[in-house]
Structures are given as structure tokens and as C-alpha cells.
Amino acid sequence: MKKRGKQIGILLALLLILVVFMFPVYWIFGISVKGKAEIFAYPPTLVPQVFDWSNYKTIILGQSTGFVVLGSGGYFNYLRNSLVAAGTASVLCILMGSFGAYGLVRMNMNAKAKQKMSFWIISTRMMPPIAAAVPFYILFRNMNLLNNLLSIIITYTAVNLPFVIWMLQGFFREVPLELYEAARLDGCGPVESFVKVILPLSLPGVCSALVFSFIFSWNEFLFALILTGEETKTMPVAAASMWSAIASRWGEIATVGIVTILPVFALTLFTQKYFVKGMTFGAIK
């Protein structure tokens, strides 16, 4: 009986945490489906009285109101920019980071030196983005890459690569060295052994690193604001440009917030099986 009560307490605590984290999302969704009068009603309504989907038509279908910058197909343009930039950078981080992490794990050096090198790599991720914003801007200006998605892809890859290397090290350490050596004895080369043996066994960790890298790139604002132009804006920059001191269309802004998180939600849902395994793999071992 005591054990059952403890389980119920844990369940209630988890439910409370879920409500706290999901309430802002629910509140934004509620604003996105409210009419203009209900949005500014006082006291505010917790549940929309009438579901009005006109904001979604305005944003997604491009029914411009003269204020919303995402009208006339802009939503899909900015969505494409974000998907290309975040997706490409995440894949590049995994490709380069997996080799870098495994090389660091199997490097023939003492544990203390490996620890120092690992800390040096992750320490570059601790640098405030504003400190690198101006150097990145000058670099890409001299390379004529401003207002080009390639500059965003390079920046996101450079910023997230240290985190991916640092994260994947823990998963690669759990793979027995004997498996790699057995593959070498069977005639596989170093790269083939890594791709065919080590990576499949570390797939949960790779998926976890991929999801985190994609989320970091998708949500990034500062570099996208500085390096992009009207044609290469990402969704966070486009959403921020909807705000105005004169007139703020809160319904449309909330709608953009909802539709912006859908790709990340879909990716996390698709990789949920591997993502959960990756988050618990090290602790279980």
C-alpha cells in the first residue's frame, strides 16, 4: 500500500510538471484561435468561446492583411529557409561530430589529457553568441555570403559541432573496443568498422544529438538576424518582425508561434523511440 501511494505521488508530481510546461503552449494556441475581441477581453478566457481559424488562413494560406509579413506565401518561404539551414547543419554536425567524438575516445593518450581536450572542445560552445556575431558578419561579408543560407549553415555547424562531439563521446565509450577489433579482423577498414559496427550500436545517442542540434539551430535568432536578408529569413526572425509598437496582431503572432514549433515536434515524435533510449543509455549502464 505504501509503495502504491508513492507511485501515485510520483505520477501526480509528473502530471503537475507536464501541466506547468505545457500551459504556455496551450495559452498561445488559445490566443491563435480567438477572435480579436476575445483576445483583449478582461478577465481573459481560459477556454476560447468560439474557435476562429482565420489566423491560420492568414499565415499559412497567405491571405495578407497588410501587416503580417508572412502573408503571400511568406510562411512557406521562411519555413523552407529554417528547414534547410537547421536540417543541413544538423546532418553536418552528426557526420563530422561522430568521427571527431570516436577519434577522441579511441585516441592513444592518457585519460587526463583526453578530459582536458574534451573540456576545451565544449568550452568553445560556452562563448556568448554576441561575441562571435561581429567576426562572423565580417567574415561572410568579405566572402560575399551575406543574405545566403550557406552562411547560416556554416555558422550553425560551427556553433553546434562542439556540443555534438562532447555528447557523442559518452555513447561511444559504452561500445566495447573488442567489437571494433573484431570487425578489423574480419577485413573491415577503420572507416567501414566505424560505420557498420560502432554507429548502429550508438544510434540512440546519434539520434539524441541530432534532435538537440536541430532544436538549437531551429531556435537560433541572433546569427540569423545578422546574416540573413529578406529572402533568407528564418522563422524566428520572421516571427519577431511581426511585432510593432503601433499595432501588434497578437492572434497572428501566436499562430506563427504554434506553426513554428510543429516541425520540431514532428522530428521529436518521429525519433522518440531512439531519443528516449539515448537520454537513458548512459545512466542505465
153-179: per-residue pLDDT in tens?
Answer: 999 999 999 999 988 888 888 888 888
**Cβ atoms within 10 Å, residue 221:** 14
CA 89 to CA 15: how far, in whole Å?
A: 35
pLDDT tens for 205-246 read 888 889 889 999 999 999 999 998 888 888 888 888 776 544
Please give the model's pTM, rounded to 2 decimal places: 0.83
DSSP string over 57-105: HHHHS----SS-TTTTTHHHHHHHHHHHHHHHHHHHHHHHHHHHHHHHH
182-187, long-range: CB < 8 A, 24+ apart:
none
The reported pLDDT for the residue numbered 142 is: 93
pLDDT digits (tens, 9 = 90+) for 28-49: 888 888 887 788 878 888 888 8
Whether pLDDT at 63 is above 80: no
Q: Which segment of 59-63, 128-132, 137-141, 159-163 scores lowest on mean pLDDT? A: 59-63
In the three-class reduction of DSSP (H, G, I as helix; E, B as strand; rest coil), residue 125 is classed as helix
Using pLDDT thresholds of 50, 70 and 90, give the confidence band for residue 187. Answer: confident
| pLDDT, position 38 | 81
Provide the 8-state DSSP code for 143: T
